[in-house]
Amino acid sequence: MAKISTTDLDIFPLALGGNVFGWTADEPQSFSVLDAYAAAGGNFIDTADMYSEWGPGNSGGESETIIGRWMKARGNRDGMIIATKVGKLSRLSGLSAKTIQVAVEHSLERLQTDRIDLYYAHADDPQTPLEETLGAFDALVRDGKVRYIAASNYSASRLAEALEVSKRHGFARYVALQPHYNLMERDEFEGALAEVVRREALSVIPYFALAKGFLTGKYRPGGPEVKSARAEGARAYLDERGLRVLAALDEIAAAHHTTQAAVALAWLLAQPTVVAPIASARNTAQLAEILPFVELRLTQEELDKLTTASAHNP
């Protein structure tokens, strides 16, 4: 377990991604995954109001609804740390005060709870003044509807500016950042964004931690076809660099008698400021491939090998 920044949120090292619930995993499948995750000691579930709006026949809120039903059925809300997001649902987009006020009530209703533990700005909204957005978030914290706030998909400059606005006005401040970050996607986070996070003592909770499934090792040149909604995105990594990463994952996974996915997640968790990668599973078999990383400790040599393999110019 690790704490998020200066909060009292004590989280499991794997944040279970809820983006597949109500999309590639129906409600019974989702319940099975959630049960298995909780049985393994998991307590940190990541979702958003827009999940999974993109699915056929969906309108958004499906993931939150399933999670809410599961917590009610299991009576375990107090044992779970629930993170959800606002700003990217098509009918409630952006981060105006009004949007946030309406969206949070809908999320609370779907989740069947009276508070959200970690509430993210799902993406920066340059059209709305940061004072307005952060003032609205601050009001939710003061009302007890949200415990802590966080940011996702912010640039270094906007994240720094948002933190300064909170400091100037005495508003609740972002305690975490959710960036797109994994072995195959390092450039966006490493550098200026990582420096702001380090300087401001934020925690990092990366999404797409397995590069849309590529880092599970299932996608190989000439390999069997993988039936997945994300297969096309995963295959995009099958270049010279991707093959170097797969080779390193194969070698290290074999040495530890574990999965490539576990090794990839262990590398991510070992990076400065990262407290819990987000990974999703549409069934318990997929969850079983990623859970071993929680106990996996890579040597410095193994970490360096992965870092070198995933560099653009090794």
Active site residues: 51
**Tokens 């420096």, located at residue:** 195
* Residues pairing with 182 in the sheet: 185
Strand stretches in the chain, DSSP E:
2-3, 10-11, 15-17, 44-46, 81-86, 88-89, 92-93, 116-121, 146-152, 174-178, 203-204, 278-279
Q: If you ran DSSP here, which 8-state letter would residue 60 be given?
A: S
CB within 8 A of 84, min separation 6: which ones? 46, 47, 48, 49, 64, 107, 111, 116, 118, 119, 120
CB within 8 A of 53, min separation 6: which ones? 59, 60, 89, 90
Q: If you ran DSSP here, which 8-state letter would residue 293 be given?
A: G
Residue type, 281: A
CB 31 within 8 A of CB 63: no
Residue 136 three-state SS = helix
> Residue 16 and residue 38: Cα distance in Å, rounded?
10
